[in-house]
Amino acid sequence: MTTAQEALESIEREALDRLATLSTTAGLEGWLTEFLGRERGRVTQALKLIPTLPPEARKPYGGAVNRLKVALEAAHAERGGVLRAAETAARIEAEALDVSMPSIGRSMGHAHVLSQVRDELVALFKSLGYGLAEGPEVEDAWHNFSALNTPEDHPARDPKDTFYLPDGRLLRTQTSSVQIRHMAAGKPPFRIIAPGRVYRRDAVTPRHYPMFHQLEGLHVAEGITFAHLKGVLQAFAEGVFGSGTPMRLRPSFFPFTEPSAEMDVRCVFCEGAGCRICSHTGWLEILGCGMVDPAVLEAVGIDSERYSGFAFGLGVERIAMLRHRIPDIRLLWENDARFLAQF
């Protein structure tokens, strides 16, 4: 009995000494398994010695083992409470905020440079009396081509240039389709702009991208002449690039306008002196325009003998690149925060 009792006392001393050395709650589970585990715990092993003792010694020994078990469980709970409290205090101290310290700066989001330029253009034309019109990006060939006087064999209709869907519809190649829808749905006079995304099968280069933004304008009423168009475009050029900006109109051809022209402005990079960007001409092409072809008016049920009108179309990316001296259109689509933060 004396030997067994001494063994229990030895277990108690070792268990309490080990418990006192634990500095984190991570060691509590291992201590509990070693001394009070159900299968291999040292106190459990001590209980298994009872059958080997003389009958008169079994009861006192069993009581001693149970008291040891209760004492160690209480010590474990007490030590666990102390360690958890210490760890909680340390975590609170580590996570505490010093409200007197300067806060961490957070960068605020802002509109993409293309959205900024588009909104400026919309505001400019609204100030000139133009309303805003919108239409679907998935179009049919009639609105996108046929009603715009584009013949069946025109290269623009080729699948190499246009994205077609399996059902025969297509991704619009120009926002002129919005003008057709607007004219077909109402009666003159019309004075609208139609901004939006358009799609073409262009290879990605520093100046071309298969998806880009257009803004097209339309004015149809009685007595509209090319002089009205020139006045609007002059106001546009000065509104975007500054008062007195030189501009010129060159004869051109578009299926849906007659006569047609392309508008140039003085090169913003070299101020007209001639550089690589403007091919040393001093001028930059900025948009296409012209008087609405009578065939287009007739296609949407408008009397071309009574009404006339003009239309123009420009690329928002091109305006943004000229306005902010951006050399590569791909920068507008790469979402590089370092680039976008400049605007």
Buried b (16+ CB within 10 A) or exposed e, 263-291: bbbbbbbbebeeeebbeeebbbebbbbbb
pLDDT per residue over 129-149, tens digit each?
Answer: 999 999 999 999 999 999 999
pLDDT tens digits along 155-201: 888 898 999 999 999 999 999 999 999 999 989 999 999 999 999 99
228: closest CA among 301, 300, 312? 312
**pLDDT surpassing 50 at residue 1:** no
Shortest CA distance to 286 belongs to which of 258, 309, 252? 252
Nearest to 157 by CA among 207, 200, 215: 200
Whether residue 255 contacts residue 146, with contact meaning beta carbons closer than 8 Å, is answered with no
CATH architecture of the domain with residue range 113-340:
2-Layer Sandwich (3.30)
Pair of tokens at residue 105: 């700066």
Query: Is the pLDDT assigned to residue 2 strictly greater than 70?
Result: no
Nearest Cα residue to 147 out of 311, 315, 316, 314: 311
Quote the CA–CA distance of 163 and 19 in Å, as a whole number: 75
- By residue count, the chain amounts to 343
* 3-state secondary structure at position 126: helix
Instruction: CATH 3.30.930.10 in the chain: give the residue spans.
Output: 113-340
Beta strands in 255-304 (DSSP E): 257-266, 283-292
What confidence score (pLDDT) does residue 199 get?
Answer: 93
The residues facing 248 across adjacent strands are: 264
What CA–CA distance (Å, rounded) separates 174 from 119?
19
| Other beta carbons less than 10 A from residue 2's beta carbon | 7
Least confident of 86-95, 285-294, 315-324: 86-95
Would you say residue 107 has pLDDT above 80? no
Beta-carbon contacts of 226 under 8 Å, excluding residues fewer than 6 positions away, are 259, 291, 310
Task: Please provide the average confidence, as pLDDT, over all residues in the chain.
Answer: 88
88-106 pLDDT per residue, tens: 888 888 887 777 877 777 7
